């Protein structure tokens, strides 16, 4: 039953104001009542079936729970038995593993004892027949086995007493407790006897190898020195063997260097001692010693000691090289020459340098102002090809250059000539005449050759003058090309005239390159492109040139400039040029 609807109906009844609505609401209430009665009867009819199903389900659930309880108890009993069995098996496995570990330790200990015993016997036999390589090998084998035993003891966490006993007597892993006290005492006694015998044989081997190495070094037997030095690292005496080997190699290098030094000292008066050859021999000897023995250093003594060996041999270069250089300094009297050269650092020389710096500043100011004044008052008479500024500036700059060369100081002359170069290339370039520039350069070169006797100073001044001439040529060339391009643009050509122009430009570019001392083809690029267009057979060829890979023509001339150049040909009409596609 819908309680909410009933409440709403009661509320609606309370709000009724029209008596005509009462029959309608009563009819609706009766209909709802009959529906509720029908629904209630249906529910009561299903009650018995539901109760029967509940009874059946309760009975089956109880039986299932009883069966599950029985199976759970059986599973618990089985699991408990399996757990007990696994616990027993696990304890037996751990016991077997511990037993196996003790057995392996015992076997390793026995193998170590046997190996060390064989090594001790091998040392004795090798010493008897003076086979030092075999003796050293046996000593190295014994020490390696002992180190492995100590490492095994440390890894297994053995007691400090066992480790100490092993270090003292070379004993291995302690035998199992089941062997008894007698077994322990027996093994300890064997290890102690081995250690004592080995210590005695080891001292004998070390003394014999050391004595042989000392004798080989004294005798200068290089092969024997290498042989016995290489036997020291297995004896755990690498530093001692390396020191002896380095003394031998240093002695060989020193004897050669001393002989070369004595030859330099005893050189006959008037002959030229070969100091370079002496130093070269020293470097070669040290390099050969390192190169020939580097593998021995690394393989036998290790990287650390190999580095020490190389540095020690390099010390021979410092020792003997400094003696040779000192002899060279004494022979050349460099100390006396250096003392004479230091006079230039005195007060007088400093005052001269300061005075020259003032002179350079005043000279540069004089040149700039004189050139500016000459250009300001310049004028050209009837029929003159150049203005009066050319002669005036030529006179001023030539006098300034001669004064700078007259100082006799190359740095001062170079500074003033650089200022002269700046004056020519900046303000005077437009009014310069080629003949005057060549005359100015020739006059200053002659003055430099006469004033400077030292080749280095003369070359510095002449280099500045050469740069000055090249700069003037390049500036003049730029002006000539600009005027030539304007003249070409103002004329009309035939194909023959275009070809002749192209030929003349090649000749002019070659001559200009000779004067400038370098290629000037880049400065002729635009004119060369114009001449190429003027020498074409047809307008269509211009489109082919424009579309060539690399775009050489497109980089030098614009599309409008190409059409303007083509319009200078007498044979081609404006319509043909307009129809030309330069895409």
pLDDT in tens, 338-362: 766 666 666 777 787 788 888 888 8
pLDDT band at 238, cuts 50/70/90?
Answer: confident
pLDDT (0 to 100) of residue 167: 43
Among residues of the chain, what percentage have pLDDT more than 90?
Answer: 5
Residue 223: pLDDT over 80: yes
Question: How many residues belong to the chain?
Answer: 583
CA distances for 390 relative to 257, 265, 373, 394, 417, angstroms: 69, 66, 12, 6, 18
Q: Residue 542 and residue 580: Cα distance in Å, rounded?
A: 8
Q: Is the pLDDT of residue 467 over 70?
A: no
Distance CA 563, CA 577 (A): 6
Q: What is the mean pLDDT of residues 248-273?
A: 81
Give the confidence band of 164 by pLDDT, cuts at 50, 70, 90. Answer: very low
- 292 compared with 524, residue with greater pLDDT: 292
Q: Which percentage of the chain shows pLDDT scores above 70?
A: 78
| Euclidean distance between the first and the last CA atom of the chain, given in angstroms as a whole number | 93
Q: What are phi and psi of 493, to 5 degrees?
A: -130, 155
527-551: average pLDDT: 80
Determine the pLDDT at residue 502.
86
Average pLDDT over residues 566-581: 84
Per-residue pLDDT for 300 more than 70? yes
Whether residue 62 is predicted with pLDDT greater than 80 in this model: the reply is no
- Please give the residue that has the higher pLDDT: either 157 or 441: 441
Q: The tokens 């002269």 sit on which residue?
A: 420
**Mean pLDDT, residues 459-469:** 65
**If you search the block for the tokens 């775009």, which residue do you land on?**
551
Q: What is the pLDDT of residue 369?
A: 85
Q: What is the mean pLDDT of the chain?
A: 78
- Quote the CA–CA distance of 451 and 412 in Å, as a whole number: 13
Q: What are the tens digits of pLDDT across the range 420-452?
A: 777 766 655 544 544 555 566 666 667 666 666
Which pLDDT value is given to residue 291? 92
| 424 Cβ contact partners less than 8 Å away, ≥ 6 residues apart | 397, 432, 437, 468, 471, 472
User: What are the residues whose beta carbons fall under 8 Å from the beta carbon of 470, sequence distance 6 or more?
Assistant: 516, 517, 518
Q: What is the pLDDT of residue 465?
A: 62
Can you tell me the mean pLDDT for 534-557?
Answer: 77
Whether 165 has a pLDDT exceeding 50, the answer reads no
The reply to whether the predicted model has a pTM over 0.75 is no
| Residue range 322-331: mean pLDDT, rounded | 85
Q: What's the rounded Cα separation, in Å, for the pair 282 and 319?
A: 10
């Amino acid at each position: 039953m819908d309680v909410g609807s009933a409440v709403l109906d009661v509320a609606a009844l309370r709000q009724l104001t029209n008596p005509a609505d009462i029959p309608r609401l009563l009819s609706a209430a009766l209909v709802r009542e009959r529906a509720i009665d029908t629904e209630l009867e249906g529910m009561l009819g299903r009650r018995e079936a539901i109760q029967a199903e509940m009874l059946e389900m309760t009975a089956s659930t109880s039986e299932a729970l009883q069966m599950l309880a029985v199976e759970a108890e059986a599973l618990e009993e089985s699991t408990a038995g399996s757990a007990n069995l696994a616990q027993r098996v696990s304890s037996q496995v751990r016991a077997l593993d511990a037993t196996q570990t003790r057995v392996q330790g015992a076997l390793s200990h026995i193998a170590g004892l046997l190996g060390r015993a064989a090594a001790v016997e091998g040392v004795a036999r090798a010493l008897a027949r003076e086979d030092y390589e075999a003796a050293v090998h046996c000593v190295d084998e014994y020490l390696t086995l002992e180190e492995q035993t100590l490492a095994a003891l440390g890894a297994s966490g053995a007691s400090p007493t066992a480790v100490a006993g092993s270090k003292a007597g070379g004993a291995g892993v302690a035998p199992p407790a089941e062997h008894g006290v007698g077994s322990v005492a027996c093994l300890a006694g064997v290890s102690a006897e081995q250690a004592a015998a080995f210590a005695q044989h080891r001292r004998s081997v070390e003394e014999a190898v050391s004595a042989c190495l000392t004798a080989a070094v004294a005798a200068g037997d290089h092969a024997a020195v290498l042989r016995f030095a290489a036997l020291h690292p297995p004896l755990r005496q690498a530093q001692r063997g390396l020191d002896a080997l380095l003394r031998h190699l240093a002695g060989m290098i020193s004897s050669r260097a001393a002989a070369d030094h004595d030859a330099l000292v005893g050189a006959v008066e008037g002959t030229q001692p070969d100091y370079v050859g002496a130093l070269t021999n020293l470097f070669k000897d040290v390099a050969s010693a390192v190169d020939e023995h580097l593998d021995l250093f690394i393989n036998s003594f290790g990287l650390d000691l190999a580095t020490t060996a190389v540095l020690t041999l390099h010390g021979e270069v410092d020792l003997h090289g400094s003696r040779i250089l000192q002899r060279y300094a004494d022979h050349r009297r460099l100390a006396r020459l250096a003392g004479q050269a230091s006079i230039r650092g005195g007060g007088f020389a400093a005052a001269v340098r300061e005075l020259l710096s003032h002179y350079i500043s005043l000279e540069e100011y004089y040149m700039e102002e004189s050139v500016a004044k000459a250009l300001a008052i310049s004028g050209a008479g009837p029929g003159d090809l150049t203005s009066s500024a050319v002669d005036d500036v030529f006179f001023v700059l030539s006098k300034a250059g001669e004064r700078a060369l007259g100082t006799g100081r190359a740095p001062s002359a170079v500074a003033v000539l650089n200022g002269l170069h700046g004056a020519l290339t900046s303000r005077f370039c437009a009014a310069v005449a080629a003949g005057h520039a060549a005359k100015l350069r020739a006059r200053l070169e002659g003055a430099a050759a006469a004033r400077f006797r030292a080749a280095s100073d003369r070359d510095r001044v002449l280099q500045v003058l050469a740069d000055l001439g090249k700069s003037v040529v390049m500036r003049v060339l730029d002006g000539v090309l600009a005027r030539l391009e304007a003249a070409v643009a103002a004329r009309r050509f035939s194909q023959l005239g275009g070809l002749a122009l192209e030929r003349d430009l090649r000749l002019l570019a070659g001559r200009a390159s000779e004067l400038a001392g370098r290629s000037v083809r880049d400065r002729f690029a635009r004119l060369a492109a114009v001449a190429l267009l003027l020498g074409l057979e047809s307008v269509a060829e211009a489109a082919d040139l424009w579309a060539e890979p690399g775009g050489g023509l497109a980089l030098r001339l614009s599309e409008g400039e190409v059409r303007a150049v083509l319009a200078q040909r007498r044979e081609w009409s404006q319509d043909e040029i307009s129809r030309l596609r330069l895409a």
